[in-house]
């Protein structure tokens, strides 16, 4: 006689953990409508109660291990470089109006970079070829005709972490309308996902906040990887620098983080003061190689400022280019000016990159992930 007990978990595979006909207890899990169903089967032994007890104990322990590692059984790790999106659509759609619309917003130039670089890098595959390892891409956008218009987002569908966005319409013209309608949400969805992935990677090997007196005095914390070293930490101003040790920029390139605060002043004109504040700080704290040289905002390029939210506080995001006065050094910067009413101040977190002759999107993106990790203690 057999007695079965079942435990349901949220997973998506069919596998046999233990199945031995010669022992008393076997443990099987299989796919059910609501997830994995674990089944423990026991059969009475006539002459060996000790073996029966051991096998039941082993099955129970194995069941616990399966529960603890529920996702590791099911989802493999996703693949794909940072800020890459795989678009699943028919080749005729990709070459036509649907593809033009997709390239128009996913391939939009990223503000503040000296070279032309897009928000995301994309590749296309037809639905019939979307299988095997291609399904493990971290960011997937599925665009196809169907019986109705729809928009949906699914996480960890084939791998983890993974974001899959679905857009359908009854015609190609309908798909174009859908893409126009949801373009901003698509960009935000993929970008937020990539920020979380990058922050998670940095968190594994982060600098302790107690190391920097400026962060302590300001009452904030940041997720900064240990590869960043301290350039200056006055208690009011923090400058961290990462020397780029790989790629074409090796030896010369750096990624930099600045953290400081200034009095709040008139809250109505904060966005207009961003550049004057950063130029004042640059002159005071970021000198060039000779007397009279220091960091300023490049006058030939108009920075772009938009509304933002950092640590649940109103902020302004500014992207532009910096240069060193009376010198030839230059590069992109990303500035977050946060309105901290409780402390009557503006808290500023800025990242800037110096990487001559190479693309800088990924460097700036890593600085963005660090800035957006800011928390008030």
Same fold: 77-201 with 209-376: no
Tens digit of pLDDT for each residue in 266-297? 999 999 999 999 999 999 999 998 999 999 99
CB 239 within 8 A of CB 231: yes
SS3 label, residue 72: helix
pLDDT of 360 > 90? The answer is yes
What is the reported pTM? 0.80
Instruction: Dump strand ranges (E) for 135-209.
Output: 139-145, 150-155, 159-160, 163-169
pLDDT of 68 > 90? The answer is no
CA–CA separation, 351 vs 328, rounded Å?
19
Beta-carbon contacts of 3 under 8 Å, excluding residues fewer than 6 positions away, are 41, 42
CB 346 within 8 A of CB 317: no
Tens digit of pLDDT for each residue in 85-135? 999 999 999 999 999 999 999 989 999 999 999 999 999 999 999 999 999
**pLDDT for 356:** 87
SS3 label, residue 101: helix
Section 9-38 average pLDDT: 39
18 or 375, which is more confident: 375
pLDDT of 42 > 80? The answer is no
CB 334 within 8 A of CB 371: yes
Radius of gyration of the chain (CA): 27
Q: How far is CA 125 from CA 139, 143, 213, 269, in A?
A: 13, 11, 51, 48
From 127-141, 153-167, 234-248, 333-347, the region with the lowest mean pLDDT: 234-248
Which CATH topology does 209-376 take?
Protein Transport Mog1p; Chain A (3.40.1000)
SS3 label, residue 221: strand
**Dihedral angle, C-alpha 49, 54, 60, 66, nearest 10 °:** -140
Tell me the pairing of strands 237-243 and 254-263.
antiparallel
Tens digit of pLDDT for each residue in 233-243? 999 999 999 99
pLDDT of 52 > 70? The answer is no
CA–CA separation, 227 vs 206, rounded Å?
9
Q: Looking at domain 77-201, which CATH architecture does it have? A: 2-Layer Sandwich (3.30)
Residue 251 φ/ψ region, left for φ over 0, alpha for ψ in the -120 to 50 degree band, beta for the rest: left
Tens digit of pLDDT for each residue in 154-164? 999 999 999 99
Percent of the chain exceeding pLDDT 90 equals 72
Domain locations along the chain: 3-74, 77-201, 209-376
DSSP assignment of 272-316 equals: HHHHHHHHHHHHHH-B-SSTT-BEEE-TTS--EEEEEEETTEEEE
**pLDDT for 9:** 35
């Amino acid at each position: 006689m057999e007695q079965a007990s079942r435990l349901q978990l949220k997973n998506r595979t069919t596998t046999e953990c233990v199945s031995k006909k010669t022992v008393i207890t076997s443990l099987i899990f299989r796919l059910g409508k609501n997830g994995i169903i674990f089944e423990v089967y026991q059969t009475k032994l006539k002459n060996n109660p000790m073996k029966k007890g051991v096998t039941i104990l082993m099955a129970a322990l194995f069941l616990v291990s399966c529960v603890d590692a529920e996702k590791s059984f099911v989802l493999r790790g996703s693949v794909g470089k940072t800020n890459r999106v795989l678009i699943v659509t028919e080749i005729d759609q990709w070459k036509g109006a649907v593809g033009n619309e997709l390239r128009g917003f996913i391939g939009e130039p990223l503000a503040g970079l000296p070279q032309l670089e897009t928000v995301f890098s994309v590749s296309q595959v037809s639905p019939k070829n979307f299988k095997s390892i291609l399904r493990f891409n971290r960011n997937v956008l599925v665009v196809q005709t169907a019986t109705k218009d729809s928009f949906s987002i699914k996480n960890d569908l084939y791998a983890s972490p993974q974001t899959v966005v679905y857009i359908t319409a009854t015609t190609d013209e309908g798909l174009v309308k859908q893409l126009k309608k949801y373009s901003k949400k698509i960009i935000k969805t993929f970008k937020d996902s990539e920020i979380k992935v990058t922050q998670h990677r940095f968190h594994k090997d982060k600098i302790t906040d107690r190391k920097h007196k400026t962060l302590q005095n300001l009452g904030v914390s940041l997720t900064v990887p240990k590869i960043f070293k301290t350039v200056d930490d006055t208690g009011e101003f923090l400058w961290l620098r990462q020397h780029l040790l790989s790629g074409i920029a090796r030896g010369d390139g750096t990624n930099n983080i600045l953290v400081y605060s200034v009095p709040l002043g008139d809250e109505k004109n904060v966005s207009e003061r961003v550049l004057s504040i950063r130029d004042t700080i640059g002159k005071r704290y970021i000198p060039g190689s000779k007397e009279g040289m220091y960091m300023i905002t490049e006058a030939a390029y108009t920075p772009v400022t938009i509304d933002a939210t950092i640590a649940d506080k109103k902020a302004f995001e500014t992207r532009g280019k910096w240069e060193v006065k009376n010198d030839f050094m230059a590069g992109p910067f990303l500035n977050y000016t946060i309105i901290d009413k409780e402390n009557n101040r503006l808290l500023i977190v800025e990242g800037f990159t110096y990487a001559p002759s190479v693309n800088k999107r990924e460097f700036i993106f890593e600085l963005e992930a660090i800035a957006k990790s800011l928390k008030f203690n």
